[in-house]
Amino acid sequence: MKLKLFVVAFFVLLIMNAQETNAPKFGKGIFNLVGQDSSWTMKIAARMQFLAVSTWPEGQKNESDFSIRRARLKFDGFAYSPKLEYKLELGLSNNDISGASEFTSNAPRYIFDAVIKWNFYENFVLWVGQTKLPGNRERVISSGNMQMVDRSLLNSRFNIDRDMGLQVHHKIKLSEKFVIQEVIAISQGEGRNITTGNLGGHEFTARLELLPFGEFEGEGDYSGSDLKREENPKLSLAATYDYNNNAVKTRSNQGSYMANDIGFYETNISTVFIDAMLKYQGFSLMAEYADRNADDPIAKNSDGTLTGDEVQVGNGLNLQAGYLFKSNWEVSGRYTNIALDETITGKGAENQYTLGVSKYIVGHKLKVQTDISHLEVTNGTNELMYRLQFDIHF
């Protein structure tokens, strides 16, 4: 662990000493590199999130935790031509690199994104490598650009996160303002940093986005809060369909592997996301719905006996809104409902209510966020949770 961190630090210092740097403004990266012939660029950035959490499970004593929630290094730019871009993002905190297993060669999962983006024709861009799949909007929004301390329960139960594969992104203008964006993806179907190869089938994802009033300022349709204070209403309506053929994990390409007596249990899993983002003069509204089904969600051995695993099928709803005052204080609220199929998963419905307050000192690059949530679980333990988080992004 220490050796690998030293190697990363040494690599960064080596670049700094070998090239003339151009230090940007705060929040725009640590420094920028440009090749002598301008045939390549590299921006290096870092960010950290410090989190304090206190929970009160019903009928139990209070529990508190302090952690480095996220610590990341990001490298991006272009190589050879501005039409050939790249992004490399590495995680350094324990939360970032957790999940080591036999499927990751028992190695920490340092790599988040390692992707090349080639604008090969007009508005068509081919992505190759490991990165986020075009799933629910809340997941695609960077963890550094969130409106509240962290993402909702809908995201933790249903998101399809990152994977290895190919994506094609495209957008077209139907009129002066109306924009349509499409993404299709083919991926391995087992999540990030997998080294054992494909155990089941492949995953196929398609997403369609409609922006009837034009594009958001500063790509605000994928950023929490209306920090740009849109002068005119901006709206994005989107839907995603994801099909994981012969999936071997309990949450499509996420969750745990469904091992059985002959290897792994396989079943086809489909996930649908419908979401929207609305912003206008400091007000923002994000809504998401998710639904997951499987051909046969109960994992079995070759003789038909149950293994004890099951696909997490069901649906979820998340509604989130906020208003940003001119003082850059924001008040936000969120309601989340999770309704997994209780007959299959044995889990009752969950309802969570969250109230948040944020202070944006330098936008999302330097901010303090806090929220309080009440979780209600059918036939389970209710819980009250308080969180406080500080973000700094260079």
Q: What is the C-alpha to C-alpha distance for residues 221 and 234, in angstroms, rounded to an integer? A: 8
User: Is residue 38 classed exposed, middle or buried when 0-12, 13-18 and 19+ CB atoms within 10 A define those classes?
Assistant: exposed
Please say whether the beta carbons of 70 and 96 come within 8 A.
yes
The pLDDT value given to residue 10: 46
- Please, what's the largest Cα pairwise distance for the chain? 66
Rounded to two decimals, what is the model's pTM? Answer: 0.93
- Asked whether residue 3 carries a pLDDT value surpassing 70, the answer given is no
- Domains of the chain, CATH where assigned: 18-393 (2.40.160.10)
The pair phi, psi for residue 344, each rounded to 5°, is -100, -50
Q: pLDDT tens digits for 209-264?
A: 999 999 999 999 999 999 999 999 999 999 999 999 999 999 999 999 999 999 99
| 140 membership: H or E segment, kind and range | helix 137-140
d(CA 63, CA 384): 11
pLDDT at 142 over 60: yes
**Contacts of residue 3, Cβ cutoff 8 Å, sequence gap at least 6:** none
pLDDT above 70 for 137: yes
Chain position carrying tokens 């495209």: 170
Contact 107, 97 (CB under 8 A): no
Residue identified by tokens 């329960």 is 153
Token pair, residue 93, equals 């905190």
The string of DSSP letters for 256-309 reads EE-EETTEE--EEEEEEEEEEEEEETTEEEEEEEEEEEESS-EEE-TTS-EEEE
Whole-number pLDDT of residue 18: 45
Mean pLDDT value across the chain: 94
SS3 state of residue 14: helix
Task: Name the residue type at position 122.
Answer: E
